[in-house]
């Protein structure tokens, strides 16, 4: 390896980020991210408000939650979560976020879920890379994930961040599409860190909702 090669690679990486930033500004990517985030927050509010009211007046969600978490193996939860986040993402992460509330230090487990999801995304990227090795499989995969690939082509890292933060679609499917599009792995690793932020932020929201005493005081 030639001296300075690592510095050259780092310079190339940051140059790509600068080019991506200029491209994002020209395409209106940041405005798109803000508009999408606002829409999703509104949707969340519309969906969660009935649950909040039901928890206040009709259903003891905390008792149901306690019963479920007491009858499920912790190790099994982590295994199922990792598999789900790596392959297709068929189980909503929200369920695992709520499950972390059974521990005395839920933030530790929320962070762990975020890291596992991030690592699962890396595995999804490798799966996407493997799909490109066979022409027929690659063509089929591209047809199935065409919408995601189009979004990656149009919005680049912004789409990765939004997909990581919000429940637009199974994150692992988006990452496979990112890989099929041959989006730079280093950039994916950077933008994919948003996944960890998602679990922590969503956990704070959900766990406060489960604390009905705090919620009742808030609604008064």
Per-residue pLDDT tens for 99-136?
887 778 888 888 999 999 999 999 999 999 998 888 88
Per-residue pLDDT tens for 151-195?
888 888 888 888 888 876 778 888 999 999 888 898 899 999 999
pLDDT at 219: 35
Nearest-angstrom CA–CA distance, 53 and 178? 39
pLDDT at 135: 87
* Residue length of the chain: 220
Q: Considering the chain, what percentage of its residues have pLDDT values greater than 70?
A: 70
In this prediction, residue 12 has a pLDDT band, given cuts at 50, 70 and 90, of: confident
| Among the ranges given (37-46, 146-155, 183-192, 210-219), the one the predictor scored with the smallest mean pLDDT | 210-219
In this prediction, residue 57 has a pLDDT band, given cuts at 50, 70 and 90, of: low
Average pLDDT of 5-21? 67
4 or 40, which is more confident:
40
pLDDT beyond 60 at 4 = no
pLDDT beyond 80 at 214 = no
Q: Considering the chain, what percentage of its residues have pLDDT values greater than 90?
A: 12
DSSP 102: G
In this prediction, residue 11 has a pLDDT band, given cuts at 50, 70 and 90, of: low
Residue 192: partners with Cβ closer than 8 Å, 6 or more residues away: 118, 121, 122, 160, 164, 175
Whether this prediction's pTM lies above 0.75 is answered by no
Q: For every residue of 131-156, which 3-state class applies, written as one string? A: HCCCHHHHHHHHHHCHHHHHHHHHHC
In this prediction, residue 31 has a pLDDT band, given cuts at 50, 70 and 90, of: confident
Residue 132: partners with Cβ closer than 8 Å, 6 or more residues away: 138, 179, 180, 182
């Amino acid at each position: 390896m030639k001296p300075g090669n690592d510095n050259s690679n780092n310079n190339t990486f940051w140059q790509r980020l600068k080019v991506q930033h200029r491209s994002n500004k020209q395409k209106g990517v940041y405005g798109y991210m803000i508009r999408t985030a606002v829409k999703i927050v509104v949707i969340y509010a519309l969906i969660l408000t009935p649950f909040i009211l039901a928890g206040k007046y009709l259903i003891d969600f905390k008792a149901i939650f306690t019963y479920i978490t007491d009858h499920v193996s912790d190790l099994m939860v982590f295994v199922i979560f990792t598999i789900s986040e790596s392959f297709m993402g068929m189980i909503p992460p929200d369920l695992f976020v709520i499950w972390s509330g059974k521990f005395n230090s839920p933030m530790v487990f929320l962070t762990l879920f975020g890291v596992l999801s991030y690592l699962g995304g890396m595995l999804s990227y490798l799966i996407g890379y493997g799909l490109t090795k066979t022409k027929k499989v690659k063509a089929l995969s591209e047809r199935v994930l065409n919408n995601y690939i189009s979004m990656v082509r149009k919005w680049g890292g912004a789409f990765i961040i939004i997909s990581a933060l919000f429940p637009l679609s199974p994150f692992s499917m988006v990452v496979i599409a990112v890989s099929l599009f041959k989006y730079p792995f280093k950039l994916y690793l950077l933008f994919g860190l948003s996944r960890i932020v998602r679990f922590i932020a969503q956990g704070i929201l959900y766990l406060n909702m489960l604390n009905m005493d705090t919620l009742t005081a808030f609604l008064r």
